[in-house]
Amino acid sequence: MPNQPLLSNYQFLARRGAALALSLLALSSLCPGVARADRIEQLCDIRGVRPNQLIGYGLIVGLNGTGDRGQARFTVQSTAAMLRRLGATIAPDAIQTKNAAAVMVTATLPAYGSPGSQLDVTVSSLGNARSLEGGTLLQTPLLGADRTVYAVAQGAVIVGGFAASQGGSSVRQNTTTVGRVPAGAIVERRAPTPKLGGAQLTLQLRDPSFITAHRVAEAINDHLQSKAARALDGGTVRVEVPKAMREQPVALVSELQVLEVEPAVPTRVVIDERTGTIVLGAGVRVREAAIAQGGLSVEITRTPRVSQPAPLSRGGTTEVVEEQQIKAEVRPGAIHHMGESASLAEVVAALNALGAAPRNLIAILQGLRSAGALRAEVVVQ
């Protein structure tokens, strides 16, 4: 088998990912003058009207020998307790749980979820199960933060991947220890949600911004033809409900939510150093600068060798050892001139002209920010 440098696949994927991100941003900036307005329902939530997270502990059965094994004693204890409730008393030591797995079950209860409505649930392996494929989730109570049961989940598990192994070889795609049960939970209790109505209505911005809050208040005032809305801060807009609409709060909310507002988008450059991905937001600008960039690459090659004892020797054994070869290369750097860029498309074109790898682009963007030449906030993840 030919020797391959370590991390070559990672570097290839990182390079392709960064190039794709920059290309998409260039296409999206071809029409920079077009205003992008969003509905108020996409920008704001009504205070008090919120979803609630649910969680539960359950068992998945019917696995084809891919369930919990060995140290997962809680699966054995849970199986014994479940059988005891169903009328079968079996000692935990007599239970084999290769076809069962303990899971944590999570779901989100919407604000106005009524008893009888159905929810999608996510199941995640808690023990050492290899796969949840083909399993069935047994009836599991789902509790809220107040330890009250709001829903009950049960059903067949769908896994978005597969894993197979034979004779020491294995193949795996995506994650097989996390799955979903579509419409697998039935709501049993409605979450406490304040009723709409009264003299005031408070809107909370999902992304706080003084500019967006002011624009939301202006849009509401223009629609109601009054000074009913007022931005209290960058994240809150209070609306004085007209007397004629206090008996119809749903109608008022539906009218306000469809109003369109152009939000203030922060100017950011998001860098993910784990994957080498760079995302440039709209409004990113670059002042004139000069850049010199080079690079140090280290290539490690591992070659397996078979070491055998000398003929007629005693006590020697055949061993497989690895020989490592390390090669370091410093690429020469050149000074590149970047003119001042007035649009995102020009910034992307200037960065692509450098011909730098994603890792070098990350260092270049951070250096431009430190030098004051990058007009954007740099967020490193």
The domain ranges of the chain are 8-33+268-308+319-380, 38-48+194-261, 53-187
Across residues 190-206, what is the average pLDDT? 85
pLDDT digits (tens, 9 = 90+) for 260-292: 999 888 788 888 777 777 787 777 777 777 766
Kindly indicate the confidence band of residue 104, based on its pLDDT and cuts at 50, 70 and 90: very high
Q: What is the pTM of this model?
A: 0.65
The pLDDT of residue 157 is above 50 = yes
Kindly indicate the confidence band of residue 111, based on its pLDDT and cuts at 50, 70 and 90: confident
Residue 231: partners with Cβ closer than 8 Å, 6 or more residues away: 210, 213, 214, 216, 217, 237
Q: Domain 38-48+194-261, what architecture?
A: Alpha-Beta Complex (3.90)
What pLDDT, on a 0 to 100 scale, did the predictor assign at position 95? 78
Kindly indicate the confidence band of residue 232, based on its pLDDT and cuts at 50, 70 and 90: very high
pLDDT digits (tens, 9 = 90+) for 118-133: 999 999 999 888 899 9
Angle at 194 between CA 191 and CA 196, to 5 degrees: 130
Length of the chain equals 381
Q: Are strands 162-166 and 200-205 parallel, antiparallel or unpaired?
A: unpaired
Kindly indicate the confidence band of residue 337, based on its pLDDT and cuts at 50, 70 and 90: low
Across residues 79-91, what is the average pLDDT? 85
| β-pair partners for 378 | 269
What pLDDT, on a 0 to 100 scale, did the predictor assign at position 340? 65
pLDDT digits (tens, 9 = 90+) for 359-377: 677 777 777 777 777 778 7
Q: Give the H or E element holding residue 45.
A: strand 44-46
How confident is the prediction for the chain on average, in pLDDT?
79
Across residues 325-346, what is the average pLDDT? 62
Report the distance separating Cα 316 and Cα 337, nearest Å.
64
Kindly indicate the confidence band of residue 107, based on its pLDDT and cuts at 50, 70 and 90: very high
Report the distance separating Cα 332 and Cα 45, nearest Å.
54
What pLDDT, on a 0 to 100 scale, did the predictor assign at position 11? 45
Highest mean pLDDT among 249-263, 308-322, 346-360: 249-263
What pLDDT, on a 0 to 100 scale, did the predictor assign at position 334? 58
What pLDDT, on a 0 to 100 scale, did the predictor assign at position 238? 93
- Among residues 261, 270, 256, 237, the alpha carbon closest in space to that of 376 is found at 270
Report the distance separating Cα 63 and Cα 102, nearest Å.
12
The pLDDT of residue 204 is above 90 = yes
What pLDDT, on a 0 to 100 scale, did the predictor assign at position 318? 74
Across residues 162-191, what is the average pLDDT? 80
